[in-house]
Amino acid sequence: MTDRLPHPLRSDARDNRERILDAARAVFADQGVDAPMREIARGAGVGPATLYRHFPTKELLVTEAFTDQMRACYVVAEEGFADPDPWRGFCFVIEKVCELQARDQGFTAAFMSTYPNAVDFTADRERTLKSIAELARRAKDAGHLRPDFVLDDLILILMANSGIHAPSSVARVAASRRFAALAIQAFQASPVISPLPPVPLLRGGAIDHMR
């Protein structure tokens, strides 16, 4: 029985594991979860064998790398849910989730992927979506959120937000904030024209020509 007990990792193994997770977060943030495992191994300064010894599948690596982000998303949903003003709480969730996503490009793919073996990861996602759905219901009942809003509209927003390309993470976050403001106005039952966040400098000259 003693032989089956888990043994603590040696310090060098723990260091390798942390380097792999750090490299995975950096690569996934830049390229998404489709990035090749060999690039993560190279970023961590370890060989492929070491990488696969710690994380035999990409599913395990992705879920481990994004556990903190998923929990942060859940905390955002709960904070919005706790706001006595459901519309204000709903707006808070849209803004913060879009910002979280803009700061880490791999998060969206991880959030929307199905990982049948990642029980805790999936449970956190379902709890997050359940809180947002209930918050949306309350915002509708208060007359602020348009009655035809469905939870899939939030998924559409996340998909669109993930397509923002910018020359820097700062510009990407700024663009995401403006996009979230536009989405919030579209979600209002009686749209109110409010000032938008500043226009960021985005990649490509098409936008510059339109100014």
Please check whether residues 164 and 90 belong to one and the same domain: yes
Q: Where are the alpha helices (H) located in the chain, listed in sequence order?
A: 11-31, 37-44, 48-54, 58-65, 67-82, 86-103, 106-112, 119-141, 151-162, 169-187, 206-210
User: What pLDDT does residue 88 have?
Assistant: 97
User: What pLDDT does residue 3 have?
Assistant: 44
Q: Which of 48, 65, 82 is the last residue of a domain?
A: 65
What is the C-alpha separation between 17 and 23, in angstroms, rounded?
Answer: 10
Residue 115: closest CA among 75, 55, 41: 55
**Which residue segment(s) compose the domain that 52 sits in?**
9-65
Could you read off the pLDDT tens digit of each residue along the chain, which spans 211 residues? 444 444 455 667 788 999 999 999 888 877 777 889 999 999 999 999 999 999 998 888 988 888 878 888 889 999 999 999 999 999 999 999 999 888 877 777 677 666 555 556 777 888 888 999 999 999 999 999 999 999 999 988 988 988 888 888 888 899 999 999 999 999 999 877 778 888 777 755 444 434 4
| CA angle, 108 then 109 then 113, to 5° | 120
Please check whether residues 60 and 76 belong to one and the same domain: no
Q: Which distant-in-sequence residues (6+ apart) come within 8 Å of 167 by Cβ? A: 201, 202, 203
Phi then psi for residue 188, to 5 deg, are -65, 140
User: What pLDDT does residue 91 have?
Assistant: 97
Residue 4 lies in a domain: no
User: What pLDDT does residue 20 have?
Assistant: 94
Looking up residue 17, the CATH number of its domain turns out to be: 1.10.10.60
Please check whether residues 41 and 105 belong to one and the same domain: no
Looking up residue 90, the CATH number of its domain turns out to be: 1.10.357
Please check whether residues 32 and 128 belong to one and the same domain: no
Please check whether residues 61 and 81 belong to one and the same domain: no
User: What pLDDT does residue 5 have?
Assistant: 42
Please check whether residues 158 and 91 belong to one and the same domain: yes
CA distances from 136 to 85, 106, 191 (A): 11, 26, 16
Q: Which of 65, 90, 105 is the last residue of a domain?
A: 65
Please check whether residues 125 and 192 belong to one and the same domain: yes
- Evaluate if pTM is beyond 0.85: no
Q: Which of 65, 84, 109 is the last residue of a domain?
A: 65
